[in-house]
Amino acid sequence: MALIVQKFGGTSVGDTDRIRAVANRIKAYYEHGHQLAVVVSAMGKTTDKLVDMAQQLNENPRARELDMLLATGEQVSIALLAMALDGLGVPAISFTGGQVGILTDTKHSSARIQEIDTSRVRPYLEERQVCIVAGFQGVDKESNITTLGRGGSDLTAVALAAALQADECEIFTDVDGVYTTDPNKVPTARKMKAIAYEEMLELARLGAGVLHSRSVEVASKYGIVIHVRSSFNNAEGTRVVPEDQVMEKVVVRGVTLKTDEARISVIDIPDRPGLAASLFNRLARADVNVDMIVQSSGKENQNTISFTVPRNTLRVTREVVDAFLAEQQAGSVEVDEKIATISAVGIGMKSHSGVAASMFDALAKNEINIEMISTSEIKITVAVKEEQGRKALEVVHDAFGLGDQPAQS
């Protein structure tokens, strides 16, 4: 008998037929004698629809009220799944994030889990009731409902697996594993058997939406193996594991595309210690998530700093930059609203040179201009015009032999 945490994403519980299919799958596990905690997301596009409704009434809703609203999506699916299981003769009970003891900080819409008190669910698991848990939500110490950030049900599942010291954590989704890139964007993408935490974490941060990046962080910290697999078939998926357990050695493991980015260039500001600190501190205080940063020296004693931000934070970014420039009484600003970033990720890069050159060559051959570059030990990211993003993704994916043909060694 094992204690298994399973998570089913939005598409997997998209309608009542899908919920019934998920209930049948859970029933099969239950009949093997396992203890099961099952985390579910809101049905289909429910969360998007709720966001849209909120915005129809208020362009800038209060974060507390938005969390109150968004958390209702998961409450619908946990209750329906518990009912479906009950109908199949499997004892099940549903819990909201608060009821299951997920305590977070108060940062609405991107709250951090501080603690999970499992004492409420343990007895139910022990008497072999299937515990159905609402993903993506928790409560702060004043019992305000919080949410963990879009896609956060993955994090609920992994954090719960860690707190319960579960034997397995399975993430069921609408693809049958982690691929070399998004298979819905590049049809030649290949499924991997395994991927290292460090690589998955970078891919998730850089745009691979298949797992929430913080879920990978928590998995790595607590040594939880995540098995990403399809809720539509029984195929083995991809295991996210410690580096030494990945058998296939490659230089580049995967490639991602992030769209909906914007680039801001702060031009001709004085070349003086403290200016970059002042600008980026202001941005941090305004909660702007800055991604790539490039500084270049321009005319005498002047610099240009360019950086990328998520496009939906462009308005507040502009306000911050304008205030900064007004204070300096120097410089100007240029904005490119439509930027995409393409990243190649792999632990193998630590010991191989020439990866950047191959990537730049491939882009050049296809007449794709590189607007910005940033690198770290295990990744290379380039920014390009958004309309060239898809093409750039395909080209880079191909350049590293990641497609249907065997990957390079």
Binding residues vs ligand ASP (CB under 6 A): 9-10, 41-42, 47, 73, 135-136, 150-153
Q: Which does 136 bind (CB under 5 to 8 A by kind): ligand ASP, Mg ion, ligand ADP, none?
A: ligand ASP
Tally of CB atoms within 10 A around 332: 12
Span interacting with ligand ADP, options 56-64, 96-104, 171-179, 316-324, rule CB under 6 A: 171-179
Inter-axis angle of helices 63-87 and 16-31, to 10 degrees?
A: 60
Q: Rounded to the nearest whole angstrom, what is the least distance from the CB of residue 143 to ligand ADP in the complex?
A: 27
Cα radius of gyration rounded to whole Å, the chain = 23
Q: Rounded to the nearest whole angstrom, what is the least distance from the CB of residue 255 to ligand ADP in the complex?
A: 8
Which one, 149 or 403, has the nearer CB to Mg ion?
149
The reply to whether 182 sits near ligand ADP by the rule CB under 6 A is yes
225 to 8, 102, 157, 203, 242: CA distances (angstroms) = 17, 21, 12, 17, 8
Q: How many CA atoms lie within 13 A of 28 on its CB side?
A: 6
Q: Rounded to the nearest whole angstrom, what is the least distance from the CB of residue 226 to ligand ADP in the complex?
A: 12
Taking residues 27 to 56 in sequence order and writing x for each that binds ligand ADP by CB under 6 A, - otherwise, the string is --------------x---------------
Under 8 Å between Cβ of 172 and 227: no
409/216 Cα distance (integer angstroms): 25
Tokens of 168: 């397995």
The reply to whether 178 sits near ligand ADP by the rule CB under 6 A is yes
Which one, 140 or 261, has the nearer CB to ligand ADP?
261
Q: Residue type for 68, please? A: M
Taking residues 139 to 168 in sequence order and writing x for each that binds ligand ADP by CB under 6 A, - otherwise, the string is ------------x-----------------
Under 8 Å between Cβ of 40 and 81: yes
Cα-to-chain-centroid distance, residue 226: 14
Residues 241-300 that bind ligand ADP (CB under 6 A): 254
Tally of CB atoms within 10 A around 117: 12
Which one, 158 or 283, has the nearer CB to Mg ion?
158
241 to 215, 222, 227, 245, 407: CA distances (angstroms) = 13, 11, 9, 6, 20
Span interacting with ligand ADP, options 4-12, 61-69, 325-333, 358-366, rule CB under 6 A: 4-12
Q: Rounded to the nearest whole angstrom, what is the least distance from the CB of residue 393 to Mg ion in the complex?
A: 20
